[in-house]
Amino acid sequence: AQTVTQSQPEMSVQEAETVTLSCTYDTSESNYYLFWYKQPPSRQMILVIRQEAYKQQNATENRFSVNFQKAAKSFSLKISDSQLGDTAMYFCAFIKGGSRTYKYIFGTGTRLKVLA
């Protein structure tokens, strides 16, 4: 069975600084996808960034980037130039590839607070 672990329940960062959120996972699959979702106080989950396991290059989306270490089964999220609007819960998630898969496995989340 797959598991996703986020070991940092809460973090804080000063505005404009850089912060890294950790995520580790466990799977025997070779084809899978990893995600970071953001959940602001409005509760609506928003996809931040996605990484395909078959891609060696780390995904980036503007100020958001990941450090994907496949052998170590690690998938950390780096937020550069943190903004107040980045304050939210961040969830790491996994889904295995292949046909007809749809069950996402979520970590327990990291609450990030950006300080002015």
Among 14, 84, 108, 113, binds other proteins (CB under 8 A): 108
Should residue 112 be labelled a site residue for other proteins when binding is judged by CB under 8 A? no
The mark string for 77-96 relative to other proteins (x by CB under 8 A, - otherwise) is --------------x-x-xx
CA–CA distance, 77 with 93 (Å, rounded to integer): 12
Q: Which residue, 99 or 116, is less far from other proteins as judged by CB? A: 99
Q: Which residue, 14 or 97, is less far from other proteins as judged by CB? A: 97
Is residue 75 within 8 Å of residue 23, measured between CB atoms?
Answer: yes
Selection from 75, 53, 50, 49 nearest residue 63 by Cα: 49
Selection from 62, 84, 83, 66 nearest residue 75 by Cα: 66
**In sequence order, what E strands does 6-63 have?**
10-14, 19-21, 24-26, 32-39, 46-52, 60-61
Should residue 56 be labelled a site residue for other proteins when binding is judged by CB under 8 A? no
Should residue 107 be labelled a site residue for other proteins when binding is judged by CB under 8 A? yes
The contact set with other proteins (CB under 8 A) reads 4, 9, 31, 33, 42-47, 50, 52, 54, 91, 93, 95-104, 106-109
